[in-house]
Amino acid sequence: AEAVRQGDPAEASRQAHSLKGSSANVGAVAMSAVAGVLEAAASAGRIEAVAALAPDLEAAFAVLEPRMKELLR
């Protein structure tokens, strides 16, 4: 989020790439897919598109979070 606020597409791309891989590693396919789209947009320098995808990322996290909490009990 900070990279988007600062208008730094390279940093946004790095963060999205990391999130994509981490999400895939825990089986969060939807979150990984959104992060992949974010990474592509950021890599293309489309910081406004990255910002516009934030609600999609938040929705994917909203599905993932309770599942992860359940697994960690």
| pLDDT score, position 1 | 76
pTM score, whole prediction: 0.88
Mean pLDDT by 10 residues, the chain (73 residues): 90 96 94 96 95 94 92 89
| Cα-based angle 40, 41, 42 (whole degrees, multiple of 5) | 90
Per-position DSSP letters for 25-70, written without gaps between them: HTT-HHHHHHHHHHHHHHHTT-HHHHHHTHHHHHHHHHHHHHHHHH
Q: Whole-angstrom Cα distance, residue 36 to residue 72?
A: 26
